[in-house]
Structure 1
Amino acid sequence: MAEQSTPRVTCGYLNSYVGKNVMIVGKVQQLRGDEAVIDADGSFTAHLNRDAHLSAGNGVQIIGKVNPDLSIRVLSSLDLGTGVDFELSNTVAEISHQHRNLFMFE
């Protein structure tokens, strides 16, 4: 099996990763059954798995597959609590795309 990177992204990068796995950090805006609306420099819908235990208002790190409608099918999630620096997280995602050769392989 070939190795794949899981790039850090914000909402604005989702259209470049349809069908691929990504890592995204955002704030849980709303929970609706097995879905959550997440703000990660823009909003998207996350389709949660059974292991997801998120709280509205908390930060979350999601690893998941980007669907054609730019929602994400969650493979794993981590509730980060309330002390998340979202600006820093967005900056890390931006830098990782500016220096792809250091952070990603294909």
Structure 2
Amino acid sequence: MEGAATPRVTASYLSSYIGKNVIVVGKVIQLRGDEATLDAEGSINAHLNRDAHLAVGNGVQVIGKVNPDLSIKVLTSLDLGQGVDYNLANTVAEIAHQQRSIFFYD
């Protein structure tokens, strides 16, 4: 069985993960049909699945595949509500990338 890490990322890391799954925590800025714009230290376009029930202004955690245009095809999403500490979520992503040997396996 082959294992693969699903790294926590912000918008600035997406280009390093094209074709791979990532975890993003961000704020829902806009909803348009089956697409959402998320703010995760930068704007991310997310292509939602039918199970996504998000609200503008709420936090969200998405797990999805990074497309070549740096959008994300969402596999799962979780509405986190209003009380999200985005600084903490962004710091976790930063530390994970600084300490790759602890958080990732290739």
Alpha-carbon distance, 1:54 to partner: 0.3
Q: Which runs of 5+ in 2 are unaligned?
A: none
- The equivalent residue for 1:19 is 19
Distance in 2 (CA, whole Å) between partners of 1:44 and 1:61 is: 12
Q: Which runs of 4+ in 1 moved over 3 A?
A: none
Q: For residues 67-86 of structure 1, what are the structure 2 equivalents within 5 Å?
A: 67-86=67-86
Alpha-carbon distance, 1:101 to partner: 0.8
**CA deviation profile, 1:40-88 (whole Å, cap 9, x unmatched):** 0000100000000000000000000000000000000000000000001
Distance in 2 (CA, whole Å) between partners of 1:52 and 1:105 is: 29
- The equivalent residue for 2:66 is 66
TM value normalised by structure 1: 0.99
Q: For residues 1-106 of structure 1, what are the structure 2 equivalents within 5 Å?
A: 1-106=1-106
Distance in 2 (CA, whole Å) between partners of 1:71 and 1:28 is: 14
Work out the number of aligned pairs and report it.
Answer: 106
The secondary structure found in structure 2 opposite 1:97 is helix
Question: Please, what is the CA RMSD of the aligned residues?
Answer: 0.5
Question: Sequence identity of aligned pairs in percent?
Answer: 70
